[in-house]
Amino acid sequence: MPQRTSRNNRFRQGCVRRRLGRFSYFFEQSKLVNSQIRSALHAIFSGYRFSRREIIWRFAETRVENLHFDTDKNCDDLELIRLYVNLDDVPRIWYTGGTFASLGNEWYEKLDLGRFRNESHDKLLKELTMKVFGDWHARGRDKVPRHLVMFEPGDVWLSDGRLVAHQVVYGRRVVSTLFVAPADAVPDPTNTFAQKVAELHRRDNESFPANATMAPARQVAESRKKKVDLRASWQDLPEHVLKDTIIRL
């Protein structure tokens, strides 16, 4: 009996050592990846003075988000730099929709977005998301133009989720960043998100007639809720439609 117990203990110790060895290797490799990401972002955004530099490793599976803009609170005067690396052995699949500028201009009067002029930006972005795309329960049922993007294993991409509507259809292992810079720490303040919001409100003042009438926001939102034939598959679309619909990076 003591001999068997001794063998079991040695076996357990061997397993622990092997696991610790594998973890140590993973930890060293992850530090190398983090270092390369930091170097790349500092080279691309050389004039930015970042106040936060966060790198997040995520291994949770993501399936079929709703199409949305990111609604980061307390970020009105901040630039958010997000870089992604697909670490998985299968593509990470996104849909991308319209930009903040294009959809903001298209829906400004219809949704009376001028009432958010003195509100935080996340409230404006939430209104666009909810009224144009719908909430989480509307995923797969909204009917708005979009592109399918397949990020292959090892692909790297940059995105500010406040500027481009997006939807993760499927993905597993990914590294993402959140590098934050105050608006006054950016080389060209005219390209900040805060400036784009200000331009949206300013262009509306210059172009919208004083005697124009606005459609109620609820009526506009309901008019967008058309049933979608979920039996249709993009794989069955004609080739010329696929070329206009699918983007493979």
Structure token pair of residue 58: 């995520």
Q: What is the pLDDT of residues 113-151, one digit of tens each?
A: 999 999 999 999 999 999 999 887 777 777 788 899 999
**184 shares its domain with 244:** yes
Q: Where are the alpha helices (DSSP H) in the chain?
A: 2-44, 100-107, 121-128, 193-207, 217-224, 239-245
- Tell me, yes or no, whether 159 and 79 share the same domain: yes
The answer to which of 7-21, 88-102, 229-243 has the lowest mean pLDDT is 229-243
37 and 131 assigned to the same domain = no
Whole-number pLDDT of residue 14: 62
Q: Is the pTM of this model over 0.85?
A: no
pLDDT tens sequence across 44-66 = 999 999 999 999 999 989 988 88
pLDDT of residue 233: 47
**Number of alpha helices (DSSP H) and beta strands (DSSP E) in the chain:** 6, 10
Whether residue 124 sits in one domain with residue 10: no
Q: Which of the 8 DSSP states describes residue 129? A: I
Place of tokens 């076996």: 11
Question: What range does the domain containing 2 cover?
Answer: 1-44
